[in-house]
Chain A
């Protein structure tokens, strides 16, 4: 499994130079040159990350003409009106749709994924290994393989352009990684605690919900962040499943879909500040979540690749 992400080794600040052990072949000269060089590169890349994002946020305060004129103008007047305009023009709805779906899909993913993983990790029964590989195999196939039949499956269930349809599909497609990750986690939990609970008269179900699941909390947080980000940023599944099916159908675009929709409308009615404001609004929750759980986000996402 993944190596736990540890703190960066802190650079010993202010270490007196005189204390540095002088060894034969001391390469202090090389160090200085390389350090300037590497710091330059590191700072440059940081700028390349931050500047475009700042520029985009700044652009939402400009007018359309100003955006087209030059890339480097400063906004003439700072007005937050554009954000409420973007919110009214659809971002609010898209935001709400995404939220409605996620409020159900993430907890259900965690619940069903943990249940399956728990049983597969801790109970012996015929076909256990087979079922486990069956679950994990789903992570290997490109989602494009399933798209066409998936569309017609959801259509047959009469769930196209509905929240419940997208929720169920999200849960199903999050299953491989969730089962894989939680399976590994449940395996490491001590058996003694479980046995004590059973001796005290807890049923298997109760032992799971009141003893094992709480013990698996660190794993749940990691995989929960992974699923939340993944489902929040999902684009292909809603593109196929959340299109209004007739003229009277309500538009239930999720945020990612809505942003692309807004962007493609730019060809007809140019209102770039609204688009940029929309992106800014979409970025803020991500930024807040990321900065508050930065370590867990990095650990959760990187452990997803270390299969």
Chain B
């Protein structure tokens, strides 16, 4: 390579790399260091405390409960979202009346795809306001209002969706699934459409039913995409900050109520950082979140590993 090229390469890389190192990489690395200190964040003075923060985390009931809530999200959000999305994607791409070969979408598939996907472009803040209104704890809430109308709920005693310890996590999950299904539907649709039609036609000639063609052809050929969706939804489930912090009641700050029944790792971390000013402690939580995310990715990729099917 000529000398001028080196200068060109260096010149093009300088600003992007500098920005990336200063605002992303260096903070990532610093977190590990800060997590070993008792930094309060107010001044530059702090002491090295070794693993004390991590030991304290193991005794922090709020954080441990938060991890448990994240795990619940981790199990249910991907399962429900992926099942619904797969079902809809199959309907829209191959669910049509299969007279001409069984590989066409139902009528109006394009329209459904547009409508279903729309929540995905709405910000989580809008989602939070919307579902707060839906879950209102009196007859003015869409859900309570509807249930009162059909007589399932007593008008004088409506359900406090976001204040019931046993309901609040599910209420949050519904919001996430509501937003996410359309996205994964489109993702799966793209994968389904890259499956050659003659595979289906061959199966039809062999007398496969619709269920058989789904479970024997579509799903195996889609497995890579499902795996990706799982990891991606797992990351959503590990976060949940916006919805929990803005939809549930404040325990000090950043949501998590009632009585920490909806706290997740991210809200506990933000509360410790911005409200209690425990920066070092919050960094330790960040490190735990990273470890759990990595474990999650590795486990998902291992557990769902299949032989790759070429077509």
Residues of A that sit less than 8 Å from B by CB: 2-13, 15, 20-21, 23-25, 27-28, 30-32, 34-35, 38-39, 41-42, 45-46, 48-53, 55-56, 59, 67-72, 112-113, 115-116, 118-120, 123-125, 131, 134-135, 138, 140-142, 144-154, 168-169, 171-173, 175-176, 179, 203-205, 208, 229, 232-233, 235-236, 239-240, 255-257, 259-260, 263-264, 272, 275-276, 279, 282-283, 286-287, 289-291, 294, 297-298, 301-302, 305-307
A49 to B225, CA, bound (A): 24
Residues of B that sit less than 8 Å from A by CB: 1, 4-6, 8-9, 11-13, 15-17, 19-20, 22-28, 30-31, 34, 41, 84, 87-88, 91-93, 95-100, 103-110, 112-126, 128-130, 132-134, 136, 138-142, 144-146, 149, 178, 181-183, 186-187, 189-191, 193-194, 205, 207, 209-210, 225, 228-229, 232, 235, 238-239, 241-242, 246, 265-266, 269-270, 273-274, 279, 282-283, 285-287, 289-290, 293-294, 297
A135 to B25, CA, bound (A): 9
Question: Are B133 and A205 closer than 8 Å at their CB atoms?
Answer: no
Question: Are B16 and A175 closer than 8 Å at their CB atoms?
Answer: yes
In the complex, the chain A residue whose C-beta lies closest to that of B205 is: A23
Asked whether A305 and B232 contact (CB < 8 A) given A59-B133, A149-B27, the answer is: yes
Question: Are B274 and A305 closer than 8 Å at their CB atoms?
Answer: no
Question: Are B129 and A69 closer than 8 Å at their CB atoms?
Answer: no
Selected contact of A2 from candidates B109, B190, B269, CB within 8 Å: B190
In the complex, the chain B residue whose C-beta lies closest to that of A47 is: B115
In the complex, the chain B residue whose C-beta lies closest to that of A51 is: B142
Known: A21-B100, A141-B293. 20 other contacts (CB 8 A): A7-B110, A9-B103, A35-B95, A38-B106, A50-B115, A52-B130, A71-B140, A119-B9, A142-B238, A145-B27, A147-B27, A148-B41, A148-B283, A149-B28, A153-B26, A172-B22, A235-B123, A235-B124, A263-B132, A294-B117
In the complex, the chain B residue whose C-beta lies closest to that of A49 is: B115
Q: At the interface, is chain A mostly helix, strand, loop or mixed?
A: helix
Question: Are B12 and A9 closer than 8 Å at their CB atoms?
Answer: no
Question: Are A112 and B113 closer than 8 Å at their CB atoms?
Answer: no
Question: Are B126 and A125 closer than 8 Å at their CB atoms?
Answer: no
**Can you offer 9 A-B residue contacts whose CB atoms are under 8 A?**
A11-B107, A31-B99, A116-B17, A119-B9, A140-B293, A142-B286, A168-B23, A172-B23, A305-B229
B-side contacts of A27, CB under 8 Å: 98, 209-210
Asked whether A70 and B139 contact (CB < 8 A) given A142-B293, A145-B286, A146-B24, the answer is: yes
Which of B24, B108, B235 has the most C-beta atoms of chain A within 10 angstroms of its own C-beta? Answer: B24
In the complex, the chain A residue whose C-beta lies closest to that of B209 is: A27
Q: Shortest Cβ distance from A145 into chain B, in angstroms?
A: 4
